[in-house]
Amino acid sequence: MASTKEINQPNFYSQSIEESLSQLEVDPKNGLTTSESEKRLNEYGKNKLEEKKRKSIFMMFLEQLNDYLIYVLFAAVAITFFMGEYTDGIIILIVIFINAFLGLFQEIRANNAIDALKNLSHPKALVRRDGKTMEIDSELLVPGDIVLLEAGRIIPADLRLVESASLQIDESALTGESVAAEKDAEVQLEEDYIPLGDRINLAYMSTLVTYGRGSGIVIGTANNTEVGKIAGYLDTDDNEKTPLEIRLDHLGKTLGKIAIGVCILIFIISYFQGRDLTEMFLTSVSLAVASIPEGLAAIVAIVLSIGVTKMAKQNAIIKKLPAVETLGSVTIVCSDKTGTLTQNKMTVQEAFTFSDGLISVDDEAENTFEENLLAEAMVLASDATLENDKQTGDPTEVALLSLADQWEMDRKELGNKQPRVDELAFDSDRKMMSTLHSVDEEYILYTKGAVDNLIEQCNYVLQDEKEIEITEDHKKEVSKAVEEMSNKALRTLAVAYKKTSSKIEKEKFEEDLVFIGVVGMIDPPRDEVKDSIQKAKDAGVTTIMITGDHANTAFAIAKELGIADNQNQVTTGKEINNASYEELESHISEYRVFARVSPEHKVNIVKAFKAKGNIVSMTGDGVNDAPSLNAADIGVAMGITGTDVAKNASDMILADDNFSTIIGAIEQGRNIFNNIKKSVIFLLASNLGEVVAMLVSIVAGLPVPLLATQLLWINLITDTLPAVALGMDPGDPAVMKEKPRTINENFFSHGGTRKILIGGILIGLLTVVAFLIGYFEHGYNPMNDDIPDDIHAYARTMAFLTIIASQLFYSLSFRSEYKSIFQVGIFSNKYLVGAIILGFGLQLMVLFIPLMRNAFKLQLIGLNDWLMVLGLGLVPLIVNEIIKLFLKRSKNK
């Protein structure tokens, strides 16, 4: 049960601690009683975001049938049943329901994948109840609960802080501010409205404690939290159709009209020819069915399902099947820096001491006394933890612990030998923190912080294991080292120490210090990202970095990754604020890096790129990213660090939060669309061949070359096998050497129409030729009326086998637009080879099993006729291969 009742109250940030405690009727020392918490749980509901009610499986199944093409097929079923051709009608119904069940299966599986991601873990909450401290599931929190906070804890509900000790909270998921917010419980804000990021006496659900400790009283749970309110804004039923859905819908309507036109045309011709109208009505219905690729919707669903399953294995979870097609048209990928382009793991790269100068920490030379003391100070003056890749605390401090491990220092032994006895926490004014440790009845103090602030508190420097009085030259040397590190986008941190014979007061901690050195650290790029960005560039896809970092840091990473070449390609949130939207839109193509931007800026950036005709992908993980994910053509949420709201607003989820997965998904999306196109074009060419064969024969006054049951067998069974196999074609490596497909490109571009017309006309005419041969070799004129039934059956057998052979062989030419079947490899698509073999096997089964041969009104044929069938069947393939040769030469010229 989700939250059902709101707390009727003024803004808690404008209340004192006492007023908040009084309103929610709780004693901060004891917390709520068990009975009171259970009462409030029934009153307010569980602390879980309320989700939009899922459609029932039956409704999802009905939606699979809500398609114009399906309506036409249902009409064909009704007509065939009316005519007494129950077998034909049942076959069509089977195809319709197979298609619907495939779509239903994939939708259920996609929903289950999302649910699994959302339910990976329920954060626990440390609360005070009945005067005891206990850990409970965060879903059981109620307004009035006293929640205890410490570094590494996720805030489980909206809180009015009651206590705070150097408390810092990462609110980037909600406010977009990358720097942790400092909190103060004692502050009482008196203005009527304060922005979320400035409410320093409140803590919000889904944010993270990075430093210090505190406690707070729950003032909002579930959908009554700030996160819940944003989730509510996004809970809409807006299901805009993708280009693929629109094209398939349009194709279905067009083919439906063609089918009606074919029926009318045959009736008119048959009427004037004096044919049996009842017989021709059934023939016209069969031909109408032949003009519609019944398997199209099912095949598209199968191809998408196979592709999406493959993408899921590659860590890209697609929420809607047709969204795959949009990936192939993406021209702009807007990516967050931290964790997506980078490892989201601060790493120390360089260190500076006066004895060694500026060094790489990867240098395998033995560490000097100064370097060891530098690492020792950073380990001891730290509140972070790092054990077996499990970490808590500030990422910067975790990086310093990693450096100690890299230098093979025993951190545990270090802590035992120098236990901490006092500390002075970090604050934003001093920009330093200090810890005092006891060592053999003496004391040593370690201080770390911003270089400029720390060096001013130092009277000495450590050089060659000696404490030397600091000079201006020393300061210049430090400044030079810091500048070199900054130019490499390294974040710098300085360390100092001093020894004392007795314990000292905190006021004197940071006086008369000895400067040890500086470390430079960075969140390094992922190893595979640079190659992925180049691959995207070759494919005509531009990568855009969007980050909350400073411009210099962002540019350094962007330059290393090949995203930006010069500083002019960088702009900042401040510059965006100072410009109008029209100016942003006019200059948007000039930028590759957007630094220090807010979530509000992201929406305008997406809109500006889209206004220039781009198809935009946008990554995001926070609640505040949801609007930009919605605005993008493909919204990509982070599966590991992403919030539920971001995942709900997205089209795709990255299970590994990796940029390279996006580029892999684009490549897969392109190949999937190409495979769908191959299947569609093949089906249309095959169906056109059937229509041409029937129309030519009827217009020429010949008997019909194919009976209704034969047409349906060809159309529903034989055509489908190669079409599915083409949909499973291996990805073409060259697909990422091509420019993105335009969003309005249809199935008939790039030679699609040519393949349909040439293939369809050739298949149809060759079928008529085979049909005539069946008469002439027995000495009969097909225009005569006194032809035995077995001769009609023989001629139709020739036509039946020839049209099947033509279609099966012709499917081989669809593997590539320019490469011959030998360059692609005849056996490189084992599914297609298998489909062709199975297709011929099915025809042999129909021909040689007497029961089926009689049902389909066929005759056994001789060896010479088999050679004739195979020879005619190869013609469309050979003609298309010759055309490819000329097209390739023309392209090369």
Pairing of strands 158-170, 181-182: antiparallel
Which tokens in the block code for residue 665? 């998904």
Q: Which residues pair with 660 in a beta bridge?
A: none
Q: How many CB atoms lie within 10 A of CB 61?
A: 16
Backbone φ, ψ for residue 832 (5° rounding): -70, -40
Q: Which residues contact 167 (CB under 8 A, 6 or more apart)?
A: 149, 161, 182, 183, 184, 185, 209, 211, 212, 213, 214
Contact 354, 471 (CB under 8 A): no
Contact 618, 635 (CB under 8 A): yes
* DSSP category for residue 639: S
Annotated catalytic residues are 336
Task: Give the DSSP letter string of 355-420.
Answer: TTEEEETT--SPPPHHHHHHHHHHHHS---EEETTEEES-HHHHHHHHHHHHTT--HHHHHHHS-E
Give the whole-angstrom CA distance, residue 243 versus residue 250.
10
Which tokens in the block code for residue 13? 């940030």
Q: Which residues contact 792 (CB under 8 A, 6 or more apart)?
A: 703
Give Cα separations from 684 to 199, 289, 303, 677, 808 (angstroms): 63, 12, 17, 11, 14
3-state secondary structure 255-266: HHHHHHHHHHHH
Which alpha helices (DSSP H) does 119-200 contain, by range? 172-175
* DSSP category for residue 84: T
Tell me the angle at which helices 68-82 and 296-313 cross, rounded to the nearest 10 degrees.
Answer: 140
* C-alpha neighbours within 13 Å on the C-beta side of residue 97: 7
Question: Which of 652, 583, 699, 805 lies closest to 333 in space, CA to CA?
Answer: 652
Which alpha helices (DSSP H) does 410-511 contain, by range? 411-417, 451-455, 472-487
Give the whole-angstrom CA distance, residue 645 versus residue 236.
13
Question: Which of 156, 166, 143, 165 lies closest to 203 in space, CA to CA?
Answer: 156
Task: Give the DSSP letter string of 550-588.
Answer: -HHHHHHHHHHHTS-SSGGGEEEHHHHHTS-HHHHHHHG
Give the whole-angstrom CA distance, residue 703 versus residue 56.
51
Give the whole-angstrom CA distance, residue 550 versus residue 555.
9
Place of tokens 């190659």: 531
Contact 516, 467 (CB under 8 A): no
Contact 741, 670 (CB under 8 A): yes
Identify the three-state secondary structure at position 856: coil
Kindly tell me the number of DSSP H helices and DSSP E strands found in the chain. Answer: 32, 26
Q: Which residues contact 289 (CB under 8 A, 6 or more apart)?
A: 73, 76, 80, 88, 92, 259, 711, 712, 715
Q: How many CB atoms lie within 10 A of CB 212?
A: 20
Position 342: which residue type?
A: T
Task: Give the DSSP letter string of 448-464.
Answer: EE-HHHHHTTEEEEEET
